[in-house]
Amino acid sequence: MVGAGFHPKAGRTTLQLAKVFAERMTRSSEGHFPFSAEATARELGLKRRAVFNHARYLRELGLIAYVEHGSKRNVLRTRHGAAWTSEHGYRGTATLFAAVAPPVWDEAMSRRIEGEGYTARQVGVTDAGRELAVAAAVERQGERQGHQQTEPVNNSGSCTPSVVVPQPRTSGSVGGGLKDRTRERACREKSPKNRAKGATGWSAARTAAAMQEARRVQLHTWWTQGSCVRQLAYALRPFFEAGWTWEEIARELARWTVPLRPRHVASYVASEIRRRVNTGALFLPDGLVSPYGQPETSTWDDGQTPHGSRYAAVQAWKARTFRPAAARATAAFEEIRRVLARHAEPRRTRTVPECRVPGAHPENVRLAREEIDALLENSHPVVACDVLWAQAEEVAEYRIEAENRGTTWEYLPPPPPEPN
């Protein structure tokens, strides 16, 4: 239809998009395929607007039809309901298309159609369509005969167990000839009969007796009433294998103190028997109940077990693909770890400047303890704070000047004249 020019804007890109849609159709039993503009644009290397345009060309040609329109509504929020959190993320729904045959194609193939639009279905063919079908069948038969292999097939190679190469039957294929075939078959060693997959080895009579016992247990246990007797008998088989009677089984089920009726009684009974046997609350012969398999697993990417690296890879893939909120949380956690590591570093201690007066305590005091005591003895007992500090400053300056008099010399210019 594109080559015939039914649409003036359809071209090579339209054919590429139709090829992508045809590959997606094989994944659905009904021939439907999802249409995501972003994913299709990345697959074909086109712009999003170009994908929309060529999909519209296919719709205008009558080759695809809408089945369900997509939605931006978060389906995860609808699925989880009140339990939804931002950690679940966001996921919308894609548009579903279906491939259809336009009316011009049905007319060209001489088909009889009932209905209109997407619900139209083929109900038969006309005489012209029957002639076309016969001609097509004759053409396919001729192509198959032209491609037939003239040389014999080489079956010497190994075949899979599901494929058995037919071999010609001869009288010498069995040792002893044709007349000794019955004797040879009778004397042959019998191969052990393998039990079919899913079989339990119980006979029909034993199964019927177990169902009768399970029925009595059901009548004496309120929360098992109304369930399937066959399924309950199958769940109680460990008790029957151990030789328990229905009275003992009913007393055991009465000890479980089930507060509510289980949704699936047989599944609950089977799982509870297995749990009690593995925890030691119920004693049955060995081999009747399979033990719990608990492989060594890791709950975090510690690398101590083989599952640690895989868990970390899966979490990283989820963060990149489906959980942008988890990615943001991971980045926030990394920033918090950096801040905590910076606070955990040892702080740099400030170096105390060397005191010029030896024996002075604390270091920011310029006078020694003896000088402070002498100053307090010679001064008035009650003086103002500014007078006391002025006297301390004067004594300190005099002592420092006396110490540095013999080592340094400083030229002090004369003071300026005081204004009148």
Look at residue 341 and give its three-state secondary structure: helix
d(CA 74, CA 238): 47
pLDDT, greater one: 376 or 228: 228
Q: Which residue has the higher pLDDT, 227 or 195?
A: 227
Note whether 71 and 91 are within 8 A (CB): no
Neighbours of 17 (CB within 10 A): 24
- Taking the C-alpha atoms of residue 320 and residue 229, their distance in angstroms, rounded to an integer, is 49
pLDDT for residue 178 is more than 60: no
CA angle (383, 385, 391) in 5-degree steps = 80
d(CA 327, CA 321): 10
| pLDDT (mean) for 292-319 | 62
pLDDT at residue 353 in the model: 53
pLDDT tens for 241-271 read 999 999 999 999 999 989 888 989 999 999 9
Which band of pLDDT confidence, cut at 50, 70 and 90, is reported for residue 130? Answer: confident
Give the residue with greater pLDDT, 191 vs 323.
323
Model-wide pTM > 0.75: no
Q: How many CB atoms lie within 10 A of CB 39?
A: 13
113: helix, strand or coil: strand
pLDDT tops 60 at residue 169: no
Strands 111-114 and 95-99: unpaired
Higher pLDDT, 369 or 363: 369
Distance CA 97, CA 55 (A): 10
Q: pLDDT at position 394, please?
A: 81
Residue with tokens 């929020």: 77
DSSP H helices, 61-203, are 75-80, 103-108, 127-146, 181-187
**Two structure tokens written together for 218:** 């059901």
- Residues 117 and 102: their CA atoms lie apart, in Å, by 9
Residue 293: is it exposed, middle or buried by C-beta count within 10 angstroms (0-12/13-18/19+)?
A: exposed
| pLDDT of amino acid 270 | 94
Q: Give the whole-number percent of the chain exceeding pLDDT 70.
A: 70
Q: Cα(227)–Cα(236) distance, rounded to whole angstroms? A: 13
Burial letters 209-219, b for 16+ CB under 10 A, else e? ebbebbeebbe
Distance CA 351, CA 363 (A): 12
DSSP string, 200-216: ----HHHHHHHHHHHHH
Average pLDDT over residues 197-215: 85
- Short-list 93, 38, 90, CA closest to 68: 93
DSSP state for residue 192 in the 8-state scheme: P
- How far lies 291's CA from each of 85, 244, 277, in Å? 37, 21, 8
Residue 380: the pLDDT is 60
CA atoms lying within 13 Å on the CB side of residue 140: 6
- Per-residue HEC secondary structure of 6-43 comes to CCCCCCHHHHHHHHHHHHHHCCCCCCEEEECHHHHHHH
Q: What is the mean pLDDT of residues 301-329?
A: 67
Tokens of 152: 């014999």
Q: Which has the minimum average pLDDT: 188-192, 194-198, 286-290, 386-390?
A: 188-192
**Residue 414 phi, psi dihedral angles, 5° rounding:** -65, 145
Q: Provide the pLDDT for residue 162.
A: 41
User: Is the pLDDT at 204 greater than 80, yes or no?
Assistant: yes
